[in-house]
């Protein structure tokens, strides 16, 4: 395919790449290296969680029962749905369907915002129940000190996750303009692919957070 006559306003092949194929793979590889360090970034928090849960399983189970499983499940479904719409946005960019890219980007943003809205509602509820770690923390349990550690991890992990979602929403909004202008094509849709990889990674983090935070100590409940 003669690359230069195709897609007049598409992003060009950078001079240091031999082909669009090589440019695409380099972009994905770079994004994966970034995600590799993101895995370690979240990994530290997961490690702390594993350790404290191993040390204080009952305090963690008791604290986890204060979370709302229905809302957690709903949010998991919303986030998986947003991963589907994101994958479809990337697919539309591969086939150069500008309008469809924008449509799926907007759907992804709506689902992402829904997730954050539910999360804000949950945070507010925890605030009213005095479950925010600190001087006003009040928990009627057998081991409140270590249940507080659970809530510290709950807010740190879901908070960092939510921060990633907010960054993701910004990236999605930023993509809408070039998508609408028809800048993405089969040869060059690396921005959409890269943001897609990021969005799916954030989904994967939640896939692990949901059972670890919401679903422990539920048996027999």
Partner 1 sequence: MSLHVVPLRVYIIVFLSLMLGTALTVAAAFVDLGWMNNLVAMAIAATKATIVILFFMHVRYSSRLISLVVVGSFFWLALLIVLSLSDYITRGFLGVPGR
Question: Binding of partner 1 at residue 45 (CB under 8 A)?
Answer: no
Here's the x/- map for partner 1, 65-84, by CB under 8 A: it reads as: ----x---x--xx--xx-xx
**3-state class of 141 per DSSP?**
coil
Work out how close the CB of 20 gets to partner 1 at its nearest, in angstroms, rounded to a whole number. 8
Question: Binding of partner 1 at residue 62 (CB under 8 A)?
Answer: no
Question: Binding of partner 1 at residue 18 (CB under 8 A)?
Answer: no
**3-state class of 217 per DSSP?**
coil
Q: Write out the H or E segment, with its range, that includes residue 39.
A: helix 20-55
Q: How far apart are CA 165 and CA 160, in angstroms?
A: 9
Q: How far apart are CA 111 and CA 119, in angstroms?
A: 12
Instruction: Tell which positions 91-150 bind partner 1, by CB under 8 A.
Output: 91, 94-95
CB distance 13 to 23 below 8 Å = yes
Work out how close the CB of 85 gets to partner 1 at its nearest, in angstroms, rounded to a whole number. 10
Q: Which is nearer to partner 1, 65 or 113 (CB)?
A: 65
Tell which one of 54, 134, 136, 140 touches partner 1 (CB under 8 A): 54
Work out how close the CB of 135 gets to partner 1 at its nearest, in angstroms, rounded to a whole number. 29
Write the burial class of residue 131 (CB in 10 Å: 0-12 exposed, 13-18 middle, 19+ buried): buried
Work out how close the CB of 63 gets to partner 1 at its nearest, in angstroms, rounded to a whole number. 15
CB contact set of 42 (below 8 Å; sequence gap of 6+): 157, 160, 161, 205
Backbone angles phi, psi at 141, to 5 degrees: -140, 180
Q: Which residues bind partner 1 (CB under 8 A)?
A: 21, 24-25, 28-29, 32-33, 35-36, 39-40, 43-44, 46-47, 50-51, 54, 69, 73, 76-77, 80-81, 83-84, 86-88, 91, 94-95, 186, 193, 196-197, 200-201, 203-204, 207-208, 210-212, 215-216, 218-221
């Amino acid at each position: 395919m003669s690359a230069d006559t195709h897609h007049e306003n598409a992003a060009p092949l950078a001079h240091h790449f031999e082909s669009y194929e090589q440019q695409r793979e380099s972009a994905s590889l770079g994004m994966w290296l970034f995600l590799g360090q993101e895995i370690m970034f979240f990994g530290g928090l997961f490690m702390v969680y594993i350790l404290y849960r191993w040390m204080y399983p009952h305090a963690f189970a008791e604290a986890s029962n204060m979370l709302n499983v229905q809302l957690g499940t709903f949010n998991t479904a919303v986030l998986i749905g947003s991963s589907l719409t994101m994958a479809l946005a990337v697919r539309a960019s591969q086939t150069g369907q500008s309008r469809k890219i924008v449509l799926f980007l907007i759907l992804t943003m709506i689902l992402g915002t829904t997730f954050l809205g539910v999360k804000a509602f949950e945070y507010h509820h925890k605030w009213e129940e005095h479950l925010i770690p600190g001087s006003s923390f009040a928990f009627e349990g057998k081991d409140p000190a270590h249940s507080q550690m659970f809530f510290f991890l709950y807010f740190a992990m879901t908070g960092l996750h939510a921060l990633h979602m907010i960054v993701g929403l910004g990236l999605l909004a930023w993509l809408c303009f070039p998508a609408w202008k028809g800048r993405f094509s089969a040869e060059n849709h690396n921005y959409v692919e890269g943001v897609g990889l990021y969005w799916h990674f954030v989904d994967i983090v939640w896939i692990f957070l949901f059972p670890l935070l919401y679903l422990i100590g539920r048996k027999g409940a």
